[in-house]
Amino acid sequence: MSNLIDTKYTAPIGRSYNTDATVTLITNKGKVPAQAGKILEALTNAPDHQLTVQQLIGTDAAGLDSKLDEVGLNTVQTPAKIWAFYKRRLIDQGFITVS
């Protein structure tokens, strides 16, 4: 057996997010890309300007029942991919909080 192989190796956990986390809109004033704007639009239309991540991105990998689809998100990417891509930027720029 080689010394270069760790037989107890396990892969690191990739990026993940809690679908029960609440996303709250702080402001929708400012410039963002169109797809990020759809996240802000969905939150603008939501009661108390809050949605869970699951409500935002949908109940399955394809985005079934996604609030992003309800506001007309038009892309080949899934709502979950759009969320994963823009989440940090929207938080850092003060548009949303996630708790």
User: Along the 99 residues of the chain, how does pLDDT read in single tens digits?
Assistant: 567 777 888 776 655 567 889 999 999 999 999 999 999 999 999 999 999 999 999 999 888 999 999 999 988 999 999 999 999 999 999 999 999
Task: Decide: 36 and 51 in contact? Cβ < 8 Å.
Answer: no
Task: Decide: 20 and 53 in contact? Cβ < 8 Å.
Answer: yes
pTM, two decimals, is 0.82
